[in-house]
Amino acid sequence: MVIANAYHLYLRPGIEAIAQMGGLHRFMGWDRPLFTDSGGFQAFSMGGLRKVKEEGLLFRSHIDGSEHFFTPEKAIECQTALGADLITCLDECIPYGADEPTTRAAMERTHRWARRCQETHSRADQALFAIIQGGHSEGLRRQSAEFLVPMGFFGYAIGGLSVGEPKDVMYRLAGFTANLIPEGKLRYLMGVGSPEDLVECVARGLDLFDCALPTRVARNGGLYTRRGRIDVTAAVFRDRAGPVEEGCDCYTCQHFSAAYIHHLFRARELLAYRLATIHNLSFYQRLMEEMRRAVLNGSFEELRARFHQMYVPVEEETRLAQRKRRQEHSPDRDKEEGA
């Protein structure tokens, strides 16, 4: 499945232009499932460029500074015109550390917007997801689920996590909220995450994920292996004749040496970013396929234990330093992705 963002498509090339081309599937040449995010998180990440009102989100384009207003109704109308298979309600996302009154107000506004989205939703061939909010409070998360679940949405997304909180807090709240969603309803954790996040959140009952991390780190030379993430721009890979990872079946590893990928990055050749992205997406897809099989055959806990025995996550201090470096080198792209 591919997720596309209504905020970015609204700004460029424009919803009407895509609709005239026959919808998003035809526009991008993708005949498999498409998911669209309403754009609420991107508007949240704009910081001072946006203002939340009861009617909707007022924001300025990060492209040209022009002013726009997104209501819940407009968010659904845009996604309807795009023709995605799964679409999402507009919600209000808040930063980690917000106080209880702020968190509650945002949650309740998200509920009111969800009702307006549901009333606007008209295409039977589009599945609508509501977004459970409530910040980092279990009590508010429970209230949010108790409000949204009886409304009978196709699936439920968990928003407002992975916004700066420690991982153990994210894992606890993701699992807690997943347990509030009835069996048979898809559980979608938004904006997550790293390989270890995926393993731990599948263990807690989550089904769907989206994250720019594998492509974002790929552009900076970060490549995933079963033993952890490597920096292929490091000198140790200059003379590495073998692939990035032995046994990997991706196009990159089947055709090119680690030394060649290292060279491409050092020379700043555009092919470096493409080949690194192919490798990382293949790694993620393979990991998810393995977890799905393990869930179905009852061996997930064995897979989980094996993963943690081999995989070494990036240390928190290193991760934050790399994130800062990425933002310094490509601030516009990271802002667009909500980094």
The domain limits of the chain are 2-210, 216-337
Measured in degrees and rounded to the nearest 5, phi and psi for residue 249 equal -100, 10
Taking 70 as the pLDDT cut, the residues of the chain under it are 43-44, 46-49, 318-339
Measured in degrees and rounded to the nearest 5, phi and psi for residue 306 equal -65, -45
What three-state secondary structure class fits 233?
A: coil
Give the catalytic positions in this structure. Answer: 37, 210
Neighbouring residues of 6: CB distance < 8 A, sequence distance ≥ 6: 15, 36, 37, 38, 39, 75, 78, 79, 82
What three-state secondary structure class fits 208?
A: strand
Report which residue type is found at 185: K
Interhelix angle 300-310/270-297, nearest 10 degrees: 140
Q: Give the Å distances, CA to CA, from 272 to 223, 224, 264, 269.
A: 11, 15, 5, 6
Q: Indicate the class that CATH gives domain 2-210.
A: alpha beta
Does this model's pTM top 0.85? yes
